[in-house]
Amino acid sequence: MAVSVRTFPLRCFLVPRPQPTRSQSAPSPRLPLSSAPAPCRHKNQEDNHSYYVSRLYGPSEPRSRELWVDVAEANRSQVKIHTILSNTHRQASRVVLSFDFPFYGHLLRQITIATGGFIFMGDVIHRMLTATQYVAPLMANFNPGYSDNSTVVYFDNGTVFVVQWDHVYLQGWEDRGSFTFQAALHRDGRIVFGYKEIPMSVPEISSSQHPVKTGLSDAFMILNPSPDVPESRRRSIFEYHRIELDPSKITSMSAVEFTPLPTCLQHRSCDACMSSDLSFNCSWCHVLQRCSSGFDRYRQEWMDYGCAQEAEGRTCEDFQDEYHNSASPDTSFSPYDGDFTTTSSSLFIDSLTTEDDTKLNPYAGGDGLQNNLSPKTKGTPVHLGTIVGIVLAVLLVAAIILAGIYINGHPTSNAALFFIERRPHHWPAMKFRSHPDHSTYAEVEPSGHEKEGFMEAEQC
């Protein structure tokens, strides 16, 4: 199953910037910190990016030092040096946070740290890992395996999660010196980039072998039918928002702070959603009980459940009247009479089915039906139904156990691949082919866990 990455034009905010290659810039001796490129002269430069407000602090401002998290002075039990990332090139490892981190309004508990100076915030590891859904203090072709002094460290105290790329070198540019910088994810949603040592001008860094980015990005994933195989579906990623910082402002002892702005997803009721004064066009989807602009990680559900059409020209009073009518015994059932929740911020529902088919007849067996039965026959259907139910349950459990044993023993069989491709709540891990035109990352195996399956990502 292929994964393609596209840029969604309506809500993608790009800032053009030059991308000189190494051949365009002659190497120069490493500059001491005192003679590094001059920082931005505008103090506390602030930009509004719809989803975040970014503030840039120069080396001379006290706030830049206040935002830096000194990992060396933190509780040692909360600091971990990732051994594999600290000794390899183009590797990525998943880490579970101790708190829910709000990213573009979505609560995330799992992230992926990459050696290339960024954090991947998506759920699906794909070939274009560096393209979207990232938190990038300085994405570049770093190789922590070049030096024994290079480490990738992370720190989590329940309030803030910090990743620090410490004394890392650029692949092929080792003579320019080491970089030390960090990204801090605060529990309240703030994101802070701290730069301790930037030995060269960031615009000089070549992007020919690896993208060079500083900023944030998020995207949503949708499933489209594959033209080649009608019964399969192709995952496409659409980037709906990006923040790119001016790389010339990234210098030693500078910092950038991103403060999250309200989004439609924060509203939990129809009235709050429809009366929202946000810059987004918030709409209420009654069937999902969700407020959204339609452009977030829940895009697949928004389309599958027809939320855009449902909200057209309707008010909260219309939804309330519809709810009261559907609650009457004389009306048809609603398959969403239970609480609807999602287990992750970017997992999508593959099919629109009820949780239990017995909900199709919620009133079968009520007083109206039993009054038509004679006293002699009232108990018989219940008894037979119980026996049949028990037998079916036993057979189903036995079938599941046998299927699980077979799939575990034959992970490459057609049956195993069938279930791996169609499971709605666990995306398969991917193994990549190397390609000269793409910067591919290999995922580090989680300690004590084996991957459930592999998929080859085709050329996008």
Beta carbons of 89 and 144 less than 8 angstroms apart: yes
In single-letter form, the type of residue at position 423 comes to R
Could you report the per-residue pLDDT of 197-247, keeping only the tens digit for each?
999 999 999 999 999 999 999 999 888 876 776 666 778 889 999 999 999
Quickly count: other Cβ atoms within 10 Å of residue 273's Cβ.
22
DSSP structure class, residue 169: -
Closest to 78 (Cα-Cα) out of 151, 155, 183, 153:
155
Mean pLDDT of 300-305: 93
Segments making up each domain of the chain, as ranges = 45-261, 264-316
Per the document, the length of the chain is 460
Mean pLDDT of 4-17: 41
CA 67 to CA 190: how far, in whole Å? 11
What is the average pLDDT score of the chain? 74
CA 113 to CA 33: how far, in whole Å? 28
CA 255 to CA 253: how far, in whole Å? 7
Could you report the per-residue pLDDT of 127-141, keeping only the tens digit for each?
778 999 999 999 999
Mean pLDDT of 417-431: 43
> Which pLDDT belongs to residue 2?
53
> Which pLDDT belongs to residue 87?
95
> Which pLDDT belongs to residue 401?
86
**Among 367-376, 399-408, 418-427, where is mean pLDDT lowest?**
367-376
Could you report the per-residue pLDDT of 148-206, keeping only the tens digit for each?
999 999 999 999 999 999 999 999 999 999 999 999 999 999 999 999 999 999 999 99
Q: Is the pLDDT of residue 453 over 80?
A: no
> Which pLDDT belongs to residue 411?
58
Could you report the per-residue pLDDT of 34-90, keeping only the tens digit for each?
333 333 334 567 777 889 999 999 999 999 999 999 998 888 889 999 999 999 999
Residues of the chain with pLDDT > 70, as a percent, come to 65
Beta carbons of 447 and 83 less than 8 angstroms apart: no
Closest to 137 (Cα-Cα) out of 109, 99, 110, 168:
168
Q: Is the pLDDT of residue 424 over 50?
A: no
> Which pLDDT belongs to residue 209?
92
DSSP structure class, residue 256: E
Contacts of residue 193, Cβ cutoff 8 Å, sequence gap at least 6: 137, 138, 181, 182, 183, 184, 214, 255, 256, 257
DSSP structure class, residue 439: -
> Which pLDDT belongs to residue 74?
87
- Token match 């580090």: residue? 444
Question: In terms of pLDDT, which residue wins out, 165 or 318?
Answer: 165
> Which pLDDT belongs to residue 445?
60
Could you report the per-residue pLDDT of 254-276, keeping only the tens digit for each?
999 999 999 999 999 999 999 99
* Phi then psi dihedrals of residue 379, to 5 deg: -85, -20
Confidence of residue 405 (pLDDT cuts 50, 70, 90): confident
Closest to 441 (Cα-Cα) out of 420, 428, 453, 457:
457
